[in-house]
Structure 1
């Protein structure tokens, strides 16, 4: 700096002007040196460190590289340069030292935050992470680091001891928590929602406690705004999404398939063994030709091997109309163009009850659009209800007025025939 001042004086500048210009030139040189040093540090990180990390056999350092720990650490270099050259400016040395310390503290917080994220990523590579996750503990550590860093920066800027600052905040904490209770709860909830990716704008959520069933249209500090499917608006406190349970349908929407889980109830009195005529009729059904042929062959081989008398139906193995019907539905769904074939596809019996035997269809459509989903589901069950009588099965239904009227007419005709006779 003295050399620059002497050169300016030699070229005719006054002493006062030379001192001012030398200071500004030195500031520019220090700034340029900081930028160049930061650039070199990043190049070293991306070049040498990244190449070393990718070539070694360890995997944990790849997590550090993905979280940009080394790149963020390179920001310390300009701070060290500024702090080293601060004695050149005695009038501003204290201010520069404070600024360098604050910047160093912020960089340290950012680096520690990235290291904690990388530690969580490394821990998730082990099976034990599924049983004992540590993300919650890491978040607590992050909050502690942020609080300590914020207190250190504020104390440095105001020139007071951090202990004095903490004691002053402690005296006001009760009043602040009372006044800003909802905001504090909303802030904590917002951090939890964002860090855990629990809800986003555009998600379809369902929360019966607040009569919410629709799309999230806004997330603010205190409330989450949901537009229900009846176009009403529900306002949910942000912290309620943390303290209470809710359903987020995002997983269904991103999976590309929506579940069909519905049963038809078969009248148990219509279930029977298949007669030879029924078997031949079922064999002519396109979806059942191969199934009936292979099934009948297996049954005949089983009964012949054990010399079973098949003249009595209860002996040996026999096909039933409900079993063939179940196989038909399964083959029908496997050939359906709107059923997702890569997801779970089941046709199963549930426990029989007062409404008959439930036959449940468990499948997924290949679309998540609500209107299309309902149409596909309705078309499938239209077909199932219509085809059930072809298998000699009756769908259960409680007696209606029409059924009672028909029964009354049948009874009247029967009594009339008896009277005539």
Structure 2
């Protein structure tokens, strides 16, 4: 290679000497011609390899089934390599052209060397970006924080590359440079504090499987309530349900509390836990005539018949005086309503019967007696879930009057006037 370069750039000086140009003039003129030749050769090499490499990468991308080579093309890997080759040619040519100009040879050699290092880093970055894009389409890795790992690798490479550039420019030995960097490690840690914390958080989030891309999370501190669309070294991006985007520092996922709804979405049902308030003064015992009328409600007709027979037998056995309803055992409108709602839930097609399902009475409050429905919908999706819950409470509110019960609600100005 060296002999070829000497022939390529040495002919001009020999010709000028033969036609009796002075040594100094011959040297400067040959330098000028050689620089022009170098630029022309570098341009030709660039155009040639760019055409060859881009065409070759595109052809391979079309022929193969995998899309990794397509991603290499879209990330301009071939173009960066095409830029690198002429600079390698220039780097080898500079010592030959500037053989008699030691100072300028050192200067140009350092500049070209620095640019080669930067181009090499850009090539590696384009390949890593292609790997990142490829892994995101692989189901096994689609929910992993690939961005964080790629960024960590690039940070390490950039630090290493900058170290080589510094040692090359200032002619510093690499071991000396490493010692100097060790001495200022505290400053480096301070500068890259968020990056280091983000890296540690990314590793913990990945190893503990705390958050995946696509998870629905709620983070009240940052006002986030939506799907995770990106996890990188410094931030986690959440697309909220109102189509806004919230950016959360990655290390906050391990330092603060947040809610991940993945477990619910992966389970067999989504919990419905909501109550209504029943006026306490509307709760009372039921007479036999009222019970006969309530037997028309199919869901509890059999229950009333069985319970009525059981209570009558008990009261007769214990000689209970039924001239007053309070004596002995009795059914209440509230208890019967709870039984009706439980039966209604058991027959509802949208609920998972294999999970907890109940209608219960909670601690009475100043506003009335809470009647809570606790069950799980089969469909965990937001819209179907809300529809099922609304359907249940529409029925609860509409049916409460059949049991002569009343819902509590704050009186309006019109009620107060009356």
TM-score normalised by length of structure 2: 0.56
Listed one character per residue, the Cα deviations across residues 315-352 of structure 1 (whole Å, up to 9, x for unaligned) are: 11100000000000000000000011111111111111
Distance, in Å, in 1 between the alignment partners of 2:393 and 2:230 is: 38
**1:167 Cα deviation after fit:** 7.6
Distance, in Å, in 1 between the alignment partners of 2:289 and 2:183 is: 91
Where does residue 209 of structure 2 map in the other structure?
A: 197
Where does residue 222 of structure 1 map in the other structure?
A: 234
Distance, in Å, in 1 between the alignment partners of 2:182 and 2:364 is: 65
**1:374 Cα deviation after fit:** 1.0
Where does residue 325 of structure 2 map in the other structure?
A: 313
Query: Which SS does the other structure have where 1:362 is aligned?
Result: strand
Distance, in Å, in 1 between the alignment partners of 2:368 and 2:294 is: 24
Listed one character per residue, the Cα deviations across residues 150-204 of structure 1 (whole Å, up to 9, x for unaligned) are: xxxxxxxxxxxxxx99987753431221121111000000010000000000000
Residue of 259, 264, 283 corresponding to 2:276:
264
Residue of 236, 239, 261 corresponding to 1:249:
261
Where does residue 336 of structure 1 map in the other structure?
A: 348
Residue of 397, 400, 411 corresponding to 2:412:
400
Extract unaligned runs of 5+ from structure 1.
1-163, 408-421
Aligned-CA RMSD value: 2.0
Distance, in Å, in 2 between the alignment partners of 1:326 and 1:257 is: 23
Residue of 367, 372, 382 corresponding to 1:355:
367
Distance, in Å, in 2 between the alignment partners of 1:324 and 1:335 is: 17
1:104-253 equivalences under 5 Å are 171-253=183-265
Query: Which SS does the other structure have where 2:375 is aligned?
Result: strand
Where does residue 274 of structure 1 map in the other structure?
A: 286
Listed one character per residue, the Cα deviations across residues 120-150 of structure 1 (whole Å, up to 9, x for unaligned) are: xxxxxxxxxxxxxxxxxxxxxxxxxxxxxxx
Extract unaligned runs of 5+ from structure 2.
1-175
Distance, in Å, in 1 between the alignment partners of 2:185 and 2:310 is: 79
Q: How many aligned residue pairs are there?
A: 244
**1:354 Cα deviation after fit:** 1.4
Distance, in Å, in 2 between the alignment partners of 1:275 and 1:167 is: 94
Query: Which SS does the other structure have where 2:239 is aligned?
Result: strand
Where does residue 69 of structure 1 map in the other structure?
A: none
**1:397 Cα deviation after fit:** 1.2
The answer to whether the Cα contact below 8 Å between 2:287 and 2:325 also exists between their aligned partners in 1 is: no
Runs of 4+ in 1 over 6 A off after TM superposition: 164-169
Distance, in Å, in 1 between the alignment partners of 2:178 and 2:270 is: 53
Distance, in Å, in 2 between the alignment partners of 1:283 and 1:181 is: 72
Where does residue 287 of structure 1 map in the other structure?
A: 299
The answer to whether the Cα contact below 8 Å between 2:300 and 2:340 also exists between their aligned partners in 1 is: yes
Distance, in Å, in 2 between the alignment partners of 1:402 and 1:263 is: 26
Where does residue 385 of structure 1 map in the other structure?
A: 397
Query: Which SS does the other structure have where 2:325 is aligned?
Result: coil
Listed one character per residue, the Cα deviations across residues 219-243 of structure 1 (whole Å, up to 9, x for unaligned) are: 0011000001111100000000000
Distance, in Å, in 2 between the alignment partners of 1:169 and 1:310 is: 95
Larger radius of gyration: 2
Distance, in Å, in 1 between the alignment partners of 2:228 and 2:300 is: 46
Listed one character per residue, the Cα deviations across residues 41-92 of structure 1 (whole Å, up to 9, x for unaligned) are: xxxxxxxxxxxxxxxxxxxxxxxxxxxxxxxxxxxxxxxxxxxxxxxxxxxx
TM-score normalised by length of structure 1: 0.56
Query: Which SS does the other structure have where 2:246 is aligned?
Result: strand
Where does residue 364 of structure 1 map in the other structure?
A: 376
1:25-174 equivalences under 5 Å are 171-174=183-186
Distance, in Å, in 1 between the alignment partners of 2:279 and 2:317 is: 34
Distance, in Å, in 2 between the alignment partners of 1:210 and 1:169 is: 37
Distance, in Å, in 2 between the alignment partners of 1:168 and 1:289 is: 88
